[in-house]
């Protein structure tokens, strides 16, 4: 068996090593380009469905056009490149296999010009052209191959769906510092080839370093997925000197026009937390989760997990108009077994509830499925744990559906998102002085961060700066990962 294992390993390495198109070096690659693109497409669809995209067609076109100009300067122009803006306040950008690149609206608020955005997008293109995520997935595949030749050649191994790497898990692949260094180099190459001033790149890295990793968002921050290589800025400046970069397009005016009016921070109209209470102003409901549970608000669901991660509660909107019909459909699913008679939730709203067990690939689960009707819609409150712990969570599983009710608080119903607004300094003054004249929705330190300044930075008369206006401070949204 050991000898067979050695043969399998040699075969994997021999069949899987290919030339990196960006570097010309040999690299482990068990994934052909067709599957790379399929995996990226599937993951991109999950991003759009789960996290959501910014609903601003002009901004989406602006980012897409910029990205495609950069990708045309790379080593893999034949990929089906896609560039989109994610509706998330985290300061990040990420690339999926096959040419699917995303930037968050959070990172757009922290860039000052088109050349800086080109540096970010070029960096992500570099991850794709150098096949960094594919290389990591190939290593994971190799680890899953075991030492058996039969497993190496099996149909299950060759199919992506059986490898556990599809979907959003690709988002959380953490690149190595070597990969980051290479993506920095490639991103600078693409940006300068496209005519942008590469000297803007060090300011990008400095800003990303200044951004607090504790800022709320559904996605991780930049440094969580892009570890900082040592002396990143110094290395970039050395590359600039070697390339002889002394100019290029910056396009500040164009960039500021493109992002003027984007949402800043989490959007409370999509729902927000006040402690353990979740409020949804657009759908007019509120629900309270157990104290001390971790919760997050996604585009299609609100999810809370117990401190020990041994129970979850998930709220989603169903396609039904009657709670009893929704419950009937739920219990009719394969693997779901109703326990006892159906009941109701302790609420004045129409409802139906059922304790159940379920058989899954990961083992047996138990819980309660509750359905509550509100304003012509039916919401599913799914509560899950292991069968041996169901009785312990019983009281909490009763309290959560019972707390689902009409949202009537006028302040919560009127909550609005803060927006980025481009202002013109009326005269020579510091950023802090302008903040005294023109109050903002965020502290002056935040204004300084998004403008890549300090509060004491001097502004010239007529200079354009990004400001944050609007929003409701009394109901600040919080989204915890």
Q: Is the pLDDT of residue 481 over 70?
A: no
Residue 36's pLDDT is what?
A: 85
Q: Which of the two residues, 4 and 312, has the higher pLDDT score? A: 312
- pLDDT above 70: percentage of residues in the chain: 81
**Average pLDDT score, the chain:** 84
Sign of CA dihedral 83, 87, 92, 94: negative
Taking residues 408-419, report their average pLDDT.
95
d(C-alpha 229, C-alpha 221), whole Å: 16
Closest by alpha carbon to 336, among 356, 316, 312, 310?
356
**Per-residue pLDDT band at 314 (split at 50, 70, 90):** very high
Q: pLDDT tens digits for 367-392?
A: 999 999 999 999 999 999 999 999 99
Give me the torsion for CA of 202, 205, 210, 224, rounded to 10°: -170
- With b for 16 or more beta-carbon neighbours within 10 A and e for fewer, the 222-234 pattern comes to beebbbebeebbe
Q: pLDDT tens digits for 26-78?
A: 554 556 788 888 888 988 998 898 889 999 999 999 999 999 999 999 999 99
Taking residues 455-476, report their average pLDDT.
85
Residue 154's pLDDT is what?
A: 28
Query: pTM score, two decimals?
Result: 0.80
Residue 35's pLDDT is what?
A: 83
- The CA-atom distances, in angstroms, between 413 and each of 98, 275, 416 are 42, 17, 9
Q: Which of the two residues, 427 and 22, has the higher pLDDT score? A: 427
Q: Is the pLDDT of residue 323 over 90?
A: yes
Residue 229's pLDDT is what?
A: 87
- pLDDT above 90: percentage of residues in the chain: 65
Q: Which of the two residues, 198 and 229, has the higher pLDDT score? A: 198
**Per-residue pLDDT band at 19 (split at 50, 70, 90):** low
Quick check: 27 and 131 in contact, CB under 8 A?
A: yes
d(C-alpha 298, C-alpha 158), whole Å: 32
Paired residues of 406 in beta bridges: 285
Q: Is the pLDDT of residue 218 over 60?
A: yes
d(C-alpha 452, C-alpha 437), whole Å: 20
Quick check: 91 and 204 in contact, CB under 8 A?
A: no
Closest by alpha carbon to 333, among 382, 379, 388, 394?
382
Q: Which of the two residues, 213 and 158, has the higher pLDDT score? A: 213
Residue 256's pLDDT is what?
A: 98
**264 in helix, strand or coil?**
strand
Q: Is the pLDDT of residue 478 over 50?
A: no
Residue 24's pLDDT is what?
A: 54
Residue 168's pLDDT is what?
A: 43
Residue 148's pLDDT is what?
A: 30
Q: Which CATH fold would you assign to the domain 269-412?
A: Protein Transport Mog1p; Chain A (3.40.1000)
Residue 20's pLDDT is what?
A: 58
Residue 157's pLDDT is what?
A: 24
Quick check: 222 and 183 in contact, CB under 8 A?
A: no
Name which of 83-87, 265-269, 279-283, 475-479 the model is least confident about. Answer: 475-479
Q: Which of the two residues, 473 and 113, has the higher pLDDT score? A: 113
d(C-alpha 309, C-alpha 374), whole Å: 30
Residue 67's pLDDT is what?
A: 98
Name which of 88-97, 157-166, 217-226, 350-359 the model is least confident about. Answer: 157-166
Residue 365's pLDDT is what?
A: 87
């Amino acid at each position: 068996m050991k000898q067979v294992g050695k043969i399998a390993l040699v075969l994997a390495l021999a069949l899987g090593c290919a030339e990196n198109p960006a570097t010309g070096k040999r690299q482990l690659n068990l994934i052909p380009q067709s599957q790379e693109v399929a995996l990226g497409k599937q993951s991109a669809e999950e991003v759009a469905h789960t996290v959501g995209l910014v609903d601003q067609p002009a901004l989406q076109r602006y980012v897409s056009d910029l990205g495609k100009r950069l990708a045309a300067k790379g080593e893999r122009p034949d990929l089906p490149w896609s560039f989109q803006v994610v509706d998330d306040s985290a300061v990040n950008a990420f690339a999926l296999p096959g040419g699917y690149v995303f930037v968050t609206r959070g990172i757009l608020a922290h860039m000052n010009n088109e050349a800086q955005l080109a540096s970010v997008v070029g960096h992500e293109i570099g991850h794709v052209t150098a096949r960094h995520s594919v290389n990591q997935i190939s290593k994971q595949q190799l680890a899953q191959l075991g030492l058996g030749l039969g497993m190496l050649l099996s149909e299950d191994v060759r199919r992506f769906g059986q490898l556990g790497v599809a979907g959003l898990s690709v988002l959380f692949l953490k690149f190595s510092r070597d990969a980051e260094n290479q993506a920095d180099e490639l991103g600078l190459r693409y940006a300068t080839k496209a005519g942008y001033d590469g000297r803007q790149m060090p300011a990008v890295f400095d800003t990303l370093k200044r951004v607090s990793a504790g800022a709320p968002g559904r996605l991780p921050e930049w440094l969580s997925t892009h570890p900082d290589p040592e002396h990143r800025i110094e290395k970039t400046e050395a590359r600039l000197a070697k390339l002889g970069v002394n100019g290029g397009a910056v396009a500040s005016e164009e960039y500021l026009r493109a992002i003027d009016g984007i949402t800043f921070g989490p959007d409370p109209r999509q729902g927000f937390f006040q402690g353990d209470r979740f409020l949804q102003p657009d759908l007019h409901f509120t629900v309270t989760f157990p104290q001390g549970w971790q919760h997050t608000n996604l585009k299609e669901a609100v999810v809370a997990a117990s401190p020990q991660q041994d129970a979850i509660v998930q709220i989603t909107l169903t396609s039904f108009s009657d709670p009893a019909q929704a419950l009937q459909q739920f219990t009719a699913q394969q693997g779901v077994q109703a326990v006892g008679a159906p009941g109701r939730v302790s609420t004045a709203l129409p409802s139906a509830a059922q304790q159940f067990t379920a058989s899954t690939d990961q083992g047996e689960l138990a819980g309660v499925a509750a359905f509550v009707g509100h304003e012509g819609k039916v919401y599913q409150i799914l509560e899950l744990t292991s069968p041996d712990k169901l009785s312990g969570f019983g009281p909490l599983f009763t309290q959560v559906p019972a707390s689902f009710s009409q949202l009537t608080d006028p302040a919560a119903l009127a909550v609005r998102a803060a927006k980025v607004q481009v202002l013109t300094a009326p005269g020579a003054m510091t950023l802090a002085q302008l903040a005294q004249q023109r109050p903002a929705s965020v502290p002056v330190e935040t204004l300084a961060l998004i403008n890549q300044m300090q509060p004491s930075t001097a502004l010239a008369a007529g200079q354009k700066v990004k400001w944050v206006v609007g929003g409701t401070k009394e109901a600040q949204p919080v989204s915890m990962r």
